[in-house]
Homo-oligomer: A and B are copies of this chain.
Amino acid sequence: MDYVNGPGRNHLFVPGPVNIPESVLRAMNRNNEDYRSPAVPAMTKILLEDVKKIFKTTTGTPFMIPTTGTGAWESALTNTLSPGDRIVSFLIGQFSLLWIDQQQRLNFKVDVVESEWGQGANLDILESKLAEDTAHTIKAICIVHNETATGVTNNLAKVRRILDEYRHPALFLVDGVSSICALDFRMDEWGVDVALTGSQKALSLPTGIGIVCASPKALEASKTAKSVRVFFDWKDYLKFYKLGTYWPYTPSIQLLYGLRTALDLLFEEGLDNVIARHSRLGKATRLAVEAWGLKNCTQSEEWFSDTVTAVLVPPYIESSEIVRRAWKRYNLSLGLGLNKVAGKVFRIGHLGNLNELQLLGCLAGVEMVLRDVGYPVKLGSGVAAASAYFQNNTPLIPSRI
């Protein structure tokens, strides 16, 4: 059943799906249940309350939809917008590109604001667009918080500041797929109208739940949005929320219990500690890249991502060869470069339930692979840089003090 077994563990460092903690695997190891019994709604009710915490919202309404991030995108858009609506969307890498593709296919009029891949969203252009748009023809701003393809984190607080400055009523829709539960994200404080993530990212679950959280303003918009939708329609959920049965169609029982445990782990560690841990992992990875003499695909510190690092390889190396070899020789799974940066970058995902030594094992592996493909890295150099940082900054595990 394991098509391509290797001895020891697979070292999973793609930026999703990510490593699942053993306690989450345990929680999901169960038979199906009647989702219409009193038990599942009781659990769902609490889950919906708790899930708001990962968005840092008290006023939002979450939807846990049996779908992927792509479906969550569709749910965010179709519930709040009508065909022909004008939206501003930032193209900074493969995932923002795919979202824009979806926006266009859903018949929105998209002002695409493109940056060089490796740069963040061009907020100056946003500013000028909003300044011009006194008629409020722009209905929504769509932005990925963290572009998984390039390891670029956008400044959402600044987006909000710009919107506020121009008192622009556009909805603020955020793809938080590779950020929420890992990066600092504040739905209420930043006035985000729809935020979304997928279970297989920093929540460290299997794929299968697209979590979409809607602000009161977004919910209000959904009442008049004319985009055609059924499966992704919030209305059906809201109807069942009111009934107290919560599910318009069958949820995955296993994922609900898995989510319960995933949230327990996050809250036990403390969401701020989780974010601090990701900050350590990101910083250490970047120090290693620097020690290797390689460049981060992300062009400026302001956009550095603490969940994924895209590493530029020298022109004489094909980055996919690194990924292939890492898997074939060291049981290490790295992320490929996608689209414009295909062949040029490989990616290290450092998000989810992950600790320092796991990352150091990965970095040691990358060093060996780099030598395998002809890049004269000094073995141990990246590990040394990363572990120097860790040794100074890693706290004791609180439960073990």
Chain A interface residues (CB < 8 Å from chain B)? 1-12, 14, 16-23, 25-39, 42-43, 66-71, 73-74, 83, 101-102, 105-107, 198, 200, 206-208, 227-233, 248-255, 257, 260-261, 265, 268-269, 274, 277, 327-333, 335-336, 353-358, 360-362, 364-365, 367-368, 371-372, 378-381, 383-385, 387-388, 390-391, 394-397, 399-401
A66/B69 in contact, CB under 8 A = no
Instruction: Tell which of B248, B277, B372 touches A70, judged by Cβ atoms closer than 8 Å.
Output: B248
Does B358 lie within 8 Å of A252, measured CB to CB?
A: no
Q: How far is the CA of A26 from the CA of B25 in the complex (A)?
A: 9
Asked whether, in the complex, the Cβ of B14 is within 8 Å of the Cβ of A34, the reply is yes
Contact among B21, B360, B391 for A372, CB-based, below 8 A: B391
Tell me how many chains of this kind the complex includes: 4
Contacts of A37 in B (CB 8 A): 4, 327, 333
Collect the chain B residues with CB atoms within 8 Å of residue A394's CB: 329-330, 368
Q: Which residue of B lies closest to A326 (CB)?
A: B357
| Given A26-B29, A66-B208, A383 contacting B364 (CB threshold 8 A) | yes
- Residues on B with C-beta less than 8 A from A68 are 66, 231, 249-250
Q: Which residue of B lies closest to A363 (CB)?
A: B364
How close is A37's CB to chain B, nearest CB, in angstroms?
6
Chain B residues with CB under 8 A of A66: 66-68, 71, 207-208
Q: Decide: B353 and A357 in contact? CB cutoff 8 A.
A: no
Output the nearest chain B residue to A102 by Cβ-Cβ distance.
B230
Q: Is A399 in contact with B333, judged by CB distance below 8 angstroms?
A: no
Contact A387 B367 (CB under 8 A): yes
| Nearest chain B CB to A332 CB, angstrom units | 6
Our pick among B42, B331, B384 for the contact of A380 (Cβ within 8 Å) is B384
Known: A20-B32, A381-B380, A397-B329. A7 touches B208 (CB 8 A): no
Please state if A70 and B206 are interface contacts (CB–CB under 8 Å): no
**Contact at A400–B327, with CB atoms within 8 Å?**
yes
A29–B29 CB distance below 8 A: yes
8 tightest A-B CB contacts, nearest first: A380-B384, A8-B355, A361-B361, A17-B32, A380-B380, A360-B364, A34-B333, A6-B397
A1's partner among B257, B379, B384, B397 (CB-CB below 8 A) is B257
* A357-B380 in contact (CB<8A): no
A237, chain B: closest CB distance, angstroms = 12
Interface core residue of A34, A355, A397 (most chain B CB under 10 Å): A34
Q: Name 25 interchain pairs, CB-CB below 8 A, sorted by A.
A: A1-B257, A4-B39, A5-B23, A5-B397, A8-B353, A8-B354, A9-B355, A9-B358, A17-B32, A25-B30, A67-B67, A70-B231, A71-B71, A71-B231, A73-B231, A101-B230, A200-B250, A208-B255, A357-B361, A357-B365, A361-B364, A368-B394, A378-B384, A379-B391, A380-B383
In the complex, which residues of chain B have a beta carbon less than 8 angstroms from the beta carbon of A29? Answer: 22, 25-26, 28-29
Q: Give the nearest-CB partner of A330 in chain B.
A: B357
Residue of B nearest to A354 (CB): B8
Closest to A368 in B: B391
- For A102, the chain B residues whose CB sits under 8 A away are 230
Q: Which residues of B contact A26 (CB under 8 A)?
A: 26-27, 29-30
Q: How far is the CA of A8 from the CA of B361 in the complex (A)?
A: 13
Decide if A251 touches B355 in the complex (CB within 8 Å). no
B residues less than 8 Å from A361 (CB atoms): 357-358, 360-362, 364
**Using Cβ atoms and an 8 Å threshold, which residues of chain B touch A360?**
360-361, 364-365, 383
| B-side contacts of A107, CB under 8 Å | 228
Complex contact A328–B396 (CB within 8 A): yes
- Specify which of B20, B330, B387 is in contact with A379 (CB 8 Å cutoff): B387
**Docked CA distance A315–B387 (Å):** 25
